[in-house]
Chain A
């Protein structure tokens, strides 16, 4: 079966750095996405990785290792507004997205 694993919840301090991990087992791989979802709102796109390595976009970076079935999202200089759920999704061989359950990130002052 297809499976995306990420921690259920993480807590971090304002101004710090946090790394959210995602491991996957899917039928085929055509890219990995990270989305942010604030409570009661729709998911919004953060990053996309299809090749191994690090993609940096401002305070957010995403890393992919296809051989390990592993990705992480790195958030730097945390702000209170970063409190949200972070969703990892893999596009499979049918070009459909398989979603993890999401990691709820709590930022404390």
Chain B
């Protein structure tokens, strides 16, 4: 593994289904983030984690949950998917609260 990986690359999901997007980094970064990117809008922060064991809500947290059991992994769960959650999801990490963020390749999610 080099950098940040995300899985799956893309997914088509029926509304009402539960889905977990996976994110793993091997850079030993303390902070991790989940964003969604929609056409015409900037990246919007869903949830973040400043260090293992802690999480926080971003700008658009409703319908999503996260956990940070260890430094490397930061999964994002959609408990009951809705069509408005159709988006491209990016996971990112940074050494701390300061410094640049490094992005994973993204997951393209379509909810029908």
Interface of B, helix, strand, loop or mixed by DSSP: loop
Q: Provide the residues of chain B in CB contact with A97, threshold 8 Å.
A: 43, 45, 101
Q: Please classify how large the interface on chain A is, using the bins under 10, 10 to 19, 20 to 34, 35 or more.
A: 20 to 34
Query: Given A42-B90, A43-B90, A96-B58, is A33 in contact with B100 using a C-beta cutoff of 8 Å?
Result: yes
User: B48, A96: Cβ atoms under 8 Å?
Assistant: yes
The residue in chain A whose Cβ has the minimal distance to the Cβ of B3 is A42
User: B105, A41: Cβ atoms under 8 Å?
Assistant: yes
User: A43, B43: Cβ atoms under 8 Å?
Assistant: yes
Q: Provide the residues of chain A in CB contact with B35, threshold 8 Å.
A: 99
Closest approach, in angstroms, between the C-beta of B37 and any C-beta of chain A?
9
Q: How many residues of B contact A (CB 8 A)?
A: 19
For B12-24 the 0/1 string (1 means CB < 8 A from A) is: 0000000000000
User: B100, A101: Cβ atoms under 8 Å?
Assistant: no
The residue in chain A whose Cβ has the minimal distance to the Cβ of B105 is A42
- The docked-state distance in angstroms from the alpha carbon of A46 to that of B35 is 19
Of all A-B residue pairs in the complex, the 7 with the closest CB atoms, nearest first, are A99-B42, A42-B103, A95-B97, A99-B43, A45-B100, A101-B42, A43-B103
A residues apposed to B, CB below 8 Å: 4, 30-31, 33, 41-45, 48, 87, 89, 91, 95-102
B residues apposed to A, CB below 8 Å: 35, 40-45, 48, 58, 90, 97-98, 100-106
18 of the cross-chain contacts (CB-CB < 8 Å) are A33-B100, A41-B105, A42-B90, A42-B103, A42-B104, A42-B105, A43-B43, A43-B103, A45-B100, A45-B101, A89-B42, A91-B98, A95-B98, A96-B45, A97-B45, A99-B35, A99-B42, A102-B42
